[in-house]
Chain A
Amino acid sequence: MLEVSGLNSFYGRAHILSDVALSAAAGEVVALIGRNGAGKSTTLKSLVGLVADRRGRIVFSGRDISRLSVHEIVRLGLGYVPEDRRIFTELTVEENLDVGTQAPRSGVPHWTRARLFELFPNLAEMRRRPAGRMSGGEQQMLTIARSLMGNPALIMLDEPSEGLAPRIVEDMGRAILAMKGEGLSVLISEQNLHFAKMISDRAYIIEKGRIRFDGTMQALAADEAVRDAYLAV
């Protein structure tokens, strides 16, 4: 589904990512774990084309997307949910979903408003509410639902559990597993190892823009040395 190798990204003259390599298979949940400032967001942004200066091989659904522009990449079925949510506060919940709507794609789950309201029941109750007047958790659900309306084959979630109350984090985990159940690939970035463990099949650890660990979630759970080196505070 997604194959990345030799990815290097720059902000101006600052070299942020060095030779990042990662992959995600169909129907797999993969976590990119790292401390604050490790380069998680930059990785996701580079994949979707939001970092202009990126070099390397990014193959998605068999196509090299490293030179495409953001909207072309998203239209190929790579969904992106930013960490700061960026919902359209003036628009209603339904209108936010409309912005994300893309034509159905063969071979990937097709989402409609109705199906999304099933997945996120809270949203159904506030269809016509301006999104700016929703709680943080509701906004987080909306921003995921909005990207799902584009019928992605793979969805990238940048720290989806950040700043959410424990109960909402559980809802979020369930929603992600439900997406996986539909056959979607998920790439999440996380600082919260506990949350990542709950939902992911495999994990990468990133530190200072380099991948330091690559293995199954179980392997990571067993490898205390790696966790201590890159994740302990």
Chain B
Amino acid sequence: MDFVVIQSLNGLATASTLFLVASGLSIIFGVTRVVNFAHGSFYMLGAYIAYTLVSRLGGSVAGFWGSIALAAAAVASLGAAMETTLLRRVYKAPELLQLLATFGVVLIVQDLVLVIWGPSDLLGPRAPGLAGAVNILGQPFPQYALFLILFGPLVYAGLWLLFHRTRWGTLVRAATQDREMVAALGVNQAWLFTSVFTLGAALAGMGGALQLPLVAVNHTMDLQSIVEAFVVVVIGGFGSVTGALLAAVIIGELNAFGIVIFPDLTLVLTFVAMAIILVVRPWGLLGKPEAAVRGGAGSIELPMRPLAPRLRLFALGVGLVLLALPLVLGNYGLSVASEVLIFALFAVSLHFIMGTGGMISFGHAAYFGLGAYGAALLMKYLMFPMLGGILFAPVVAGLGALVFGWFCVRLSGVYLAMLTLAFAQITYAIVFQWYGFTGGDNGLIGIWPAAWASSATAYYYLCLALCGGAALLLRRIAFAPFGYTLRACRDSGLRADAIGIDLATHRWLGFALGGAFAGIAGALYAFLKGSVFPDTISISTSIDGLVMVLLGGIQTLVGPIVGAATYKTLHVTMSSYTNQWQAVLGVIIIVLVIAFPEGIMGRFARTAEARTARAGDAAP
């Protein structure tokens, strides 16, 4: 009994921090409709800035708490700066590009933090006056945890008063429902957005600063906290502060007890909870269906169409160049080229789900990883030859995608994206924690290609043949009746339903197909590297895929290939010139998003479209 009380108190302390970060994310999304990936970066910056301030101001009562408050204020101003300089330019862009832009900020902040504070963990001081423990049911319980337990609800109460007792709060709640109408009543949206974003950043910064006495400040805090915050916000319902509180308590308690009952499965537990809740309540506990929101950014989908003859010629040229590449590139260059091909297929398969299927996936790495691990495990335990592994990889990945997809395709928009992320994290956690089978974070090594494919040139041609063939096949499917139906589902879900197309089944099969093709890419990647690590399933792999697809533009089938080539080439060349390649990449992503809100190839498609249209107008 005592144990239960203590553990649930621990859970509440965790919940308070979760709430601080998640409520900010939720409020920002509610009004601006931007899913702010950089929210985790605000959290991390809050912790680092507080650390520096405390070491300057000292750990006295005034020094410590002053540092926390100042850190929150500093992060708030960073948030305001980000909103006014970056987000304002992308509010009208499709939501995925907004996401990409905020992810650019994540990359920049990650490198900045490394440059400013260095790579090692930083240990902050205890909170003055709260360093001890109190006796609860005969057990010592940290005073600071008690403080956090009280602080969370206090912030909630403060937010509640702000939203229900001030005109600003009324405007925010109104804008959460219909921001265009708020503008049509004479309210300056720009000002409202900036203030909301600033408040959200302040909450995240404070959440991070308050971690100082609890954990060593480190540079993985951003992605870790953004994933947790996403989970909380998705469970609670985007835009709902009360929902965030409820969900934070659920996740906090789940962690507190999960760690005791299934110590190996805490990661899984969180995401299983999220998956279950989303299936039962697709908009989260207190959320509203997205469709009810008005005045959002328009979609920029252009109709997809077969390649124009000129582009076909261009594609042929590219194909010839690719065939000739081994004549000019050395072994290293060829292995980079193979990697580009593999990621091009990965991006093409993700694009199939997103562009053709209209489903945003944040967890496509799951199927890449399932392919990689599938092939590697088959080789290791069943002595499969390389080609056998590559052949079975899409089966493994496809089956995974069938299972996960069954849940995912029932949702749409951000919620679907989060559920795909959840399943990817579950896969990641299982692989990471199942040492006996998958080797955990030691990975699986010695996964080398068959002798005939072991030269860089041979493996490059294998990749070219398989990735090229698979990409062409997917293209075929996109223009086959199945692909047309899938797009019909994407463009007008309700109408497709009305004319008797089974929406969910088509989306489901489309999702699984995309997953299967990602599996081929995964298997090729495993043999290219000679090893597989849980990294292949990590969020950053999923995000790499998203960045590639979005860089290339979602409207064209060539887009993902161009995007993958651009991204991988940038990655490889820049990391050889600078240690801060991530930051450079972040800047490039942001510049690209602002300059080409439709993606690189999307821009070309749009120009071509305008040209044909103008030609059409001129004709009598």
**Residues of A near any B CB (own CB < 8 A):** 13, 48, 50, 69-71, 74-75, 80, 82, 86, 88-91, 95-96, 98-102, 146-147, 150
Contact = CB atoms under 8 A, between A and B. Distances in A.
B177 A90 contact: yes
Contacts of A89: 177
Contacts of A75: 186
Contacts of A91: 170, 173-174, 177
A119 to B, nearest CB: 18
Interface string B170-185: 1101100110111111
A13 B606 CA distance: 13
The residue in B173, B174, B177, B181 that gathers the most chain A C-beta atoms within 10 A of its C-beta is: B181
A89 B171 CA distance: 13
Given A86-B294, A90-B173, A71 B167 contact: no
Given A13-B613, A88-B173, A91-B173, A99 B182 contact: yes
A80 B187 CA distance: 13
Nearest to A73: B186
A83 to B, nearest CB: 12
18 contacts: A13-B613, A50-B180, A71-B186, A71-B187, A71-B189, A74-B183, A74-B185, A74-B186, A75-B186, A80-B184, A82-B184, A86-B178, A86-B181, A86-B294, A95-B173, A99-B170, A102-B186, A146-B185
Nearest to A150: B186
Interface centre among B167, B182, B187, B294 (most CB of A within 10 A): B187
B173 A74 contact: no
B576 interface: no
Contacts of B135: none
A132 B534 CA distance: 49
A95 B176 CA distance: 14
Contacts of B294: 86
A99 B171 CA distance: 6
B184 A50 contact: yes
Shortest Cβ-Cβ A-B pairs, 5 listed:
A74-B186, A70-B183, A86-B181, A88-B174, A100-B185
For chain B, what secondary structure do more than half of its interface residues adopt (helix, strand, loop), or is it mixed?
A: helix
Nearest to A143: B181
Contact of A147 (B167, B178, B185): B185
A70 B174 contact: no
A102 B181 CA distance: 15
A48 B171 CA distance: 20
Nearest to A96: B174
Contact of B184 (A74, A98, A101): A74
Contact of A88 (B178, B184, B188): B178
Contacts of B613: 13
Interface-centre pick from A75, A89, A100 (highest chain B CB count, 10 A): A100
Contact of B170 (A69, A70, A86, A95): A95
Nearest to A102: B186
Interface string B259-290: 00000000000000000000000000000000
Contacts of A69: 183
Contacts of B180: 50, 70
Contacts of B183: 69-71, 74
Interface string B221-243: 00000000000000000000000
A13 to B, nearest CB: 7
A89 B174 CA distance: 9
Contacts of B177: 88-91
Nearest to B288: A90
A147 to B, nearest CB: 7
Nearest to B169: A95
Interface in B405-425: none
B395 to A, nearest CB: 44
Contact of A98 (B167, B188, B189): B167
Interface string B155-179: 0000000000001001101100110
A101 B184 CA distance: 12
A99 B184 contact: no
A77 B568 CA distance: 54
Contacts of A82: 181, 184
A23 B167 CA distance: 35
A102 B183 CA distance: 12
A48 B184 CA distance: 8
A50 B180 CA distance: 8
Nearest to A98: B170
Interface in B180-204: 180-189
Contacts of A86: 178, 181, 294
Contacts of A102: 186
Contacts of B170: 91, 95, 98-99
A50 B183 CA distance: 9
A156 to B, nearest CB: 10
B618 to A, nearest CB: 15
A100 B183 CA distance: 10
Nearest to A147: B185
A71 B294 CA distance: 17
A80 B173 CA distance: 20
A90 B171 CA distance: 12
B174 A99 contact: yes
Nearest to A86: B181
Contacts of A96: 174
Nearest to B294: A86
Nearest to B177: A88
Contacts of B178: 86, 88
Contacts of A147: 185
Given A50-B180, A86-B178, A86-B294, A150 B185 contact: yes
Given A71-B187, A82-B184, 14 more contacts: A13-B613, A70-B183, A71-B184, A74-B183, A86-B181, A88-B173, A88-B174, A88-B181, A90-B177, A91-B174, A95-B173, A99-B185, A100-B186, A147-B185
A147 B186 CA distance: 9
A91 B172 CA distance: 11
A146 B362 CA distance: 41
Of the listed residues A88, A95, A98, A150, the one surrounded by the most CB atoms of chain B closer than 10 A to its CB is: A88
B608 to A, nearest CB: 15
Contacts of A88: 173-174, 177-178, 181
A82 B178 CA distance: 12
A132 to B, nearest CB: 10
A69 B188 CA distance: 9
Contacts of B186: 71, 74-75, 100, 102, 150
A89 B182 CA distance: 13
B557 to A, nearest CB: 23
Contacts of B171: 99
A13 B174 CA distance: 32
A115 B183 CA distance: 24
Contacts of B185: 74, 99-100, 146-147, 150
A99 B187 CA distance: 8
Contacts of B184: 48, 50, 70-71, 74, 80, 82
Contacts of B174: 88, 91, 95-96, 99
Contacts of A90: 173, 177
Nearest to A80: B184
A161 B167 CA distance: 31
